[in-house]
Structure 1
């Protein structure tokens, strides 16, 4: 990125400014990808791939694919774990409701 030198030396390259812009763009893109993921507007694999491309440009395509697969595997494991926990809670709630229904039916029989 070139900036104008006010001391009459013409244009010069400012590496600090370029790095600051690069970091700002990276943060902005990460924020956009996070927002898209939150609203389920982009697939997880693409978001991970874009994130890797932003941070780790020196990887070969095969290495990126391996990293993507590892991260997707971790994300899937987290999703499966969360679903298992939810299922356990739903089964427990179902059992409690069945018990309440059974007690209610017994009370109805005793009254009737």
Structure 2
């Protein structure tokens, strides 16, 4: 986590994606289509695409900081270099590139951010 945070500062799409997965528990199938309207409220609401289960969480301070530092250029928060929403597979490849740039090993997966072995204190 430290390596990723050191490589991708606030103001980058990579940091927002990381913060969404870490603090909201969104899966890649959910995070790549997250909208600014969802993120603007004090509580973050979405329905998990895989299970259809509705989720409501309070926006953590570090997520709010990441969102506030990112320019708003589209309805969705995280977009391709062509200003289009990512596909699930495109988002996965993009995150893998971000993790590699942070010096993380290939066995390090974003899924681990959703099910951390540490107590949530953020």
Structure with larger Rg? 1
The one of the two structures with greater contact order (alpha-carbon pairs below 8 A, sep at least 6) is 2
Which structure carries more helix by proportion?
1
TM-score (norm 1): 0.23
TM-score (norm 2): 0.22
